[in-house]
Amino acid sequence: MNSPPKVSLRSITRENFYTVIGLMVKPEQRTFVASNAKSIAEAHYNNNVYFKAIYADETPVGFIMLAHPGTVEGSTRYYLWRLMVDQNHQRQGYGKMALDLLREYVRTRPNADFLYGSYHPGEHGPEKFYHLYGFEDIDEMEENEQVMRIKL
C-alpha cells in the first residue's frame, strides 16, 4: 500500500524557481491570488517575509508566503499573504498540510497568538477552504478583502 506524499515547505532556489513560477491555479481562480512570480518579487522587496514552495514528496505543488510583523509599516500581525496550490494538485490536502506547517513555524515566533489572513469573497474563491480549515472572519476589511484569523 502506498503511503500519502510527505508535504514540506522548501526554499525557492535557482533549481526550482522556474517550476515554482510555472505553477498555476485554475483559470477561474486566477483573480483571487497573484502569480508566484509576482509573489516572489514582492517577497524580495519587503522585509520580514517568509516564502516557500510547497512540495509533495519531491514534486513542487504550490506556494505559501507569510508576512511577519513589521513587513508593512505599523503591522503587528503574522499574516498569511499568499497560498496557492497548482490546479493539477488541488483537493489532495496539500493546502491544509502546508497551513499546518506554516502554523507550526509561526508558533515558534515571538508574540504569536493568531495567524491572520484575508480573502476576496466570490465564486471560486478560497473562502470555504479557509473556513473549513478553522479561520474565522473578523469585523475588518482590508483592500476589499475580508480579514480572518485562526488561533495558534
1 pLDDT band, cuts 50/70/90, is: low
Q: Is the dihedral of CA 95, 147, 34, 47 positive or negative?
A: negative
Better-predicted residue by pLDDT, 59 or 110? 59
Span 96-103, mean pLDDT? Answer: 98
Model confidence, pTM: 0.94
Which residues make beta-bridge pairs with 117?
80, 148
Mean pLDDT confidence for 14-19: 97
* Block residue for cell numbers 491555479: 25
The conformation of residue 2, written as its DSSP 8-state character, comes to: P
Mean pLDDT, rounded, of the chain: 94
pLDDT at 114: 95
What are the domain boundaries of the chain?
Answer: 7-151
| Amino acid identity, position 106 | V
150 with 100: CB under 8 angstroms? Answer: no
Residue 151 has pLDDT above 80, yes or no: yes
Sheet holding 114-119, edge to edge: 7-10, 49-56, 59-67, 78-85, 114-119, 145-151, 136-142
pLDDT of 47 reads 83
Summarize pLDDT for 46-96 with one digit per residue, the tens. 888 999 999 999 999 999 999 999 887 778 899 999 999 999 999 999 999
Class of domain 7-151: alpha beta
Residue 73: predicted pLDDT: 72
Q: What would the pLDDT profile of 28-39 be if each residue is shown by its tens digit?
A: 999 999 999 999
pLDDT at 70: 82
- Euclidean distance between CA atoms 36 and 58, whole angstroms: 19
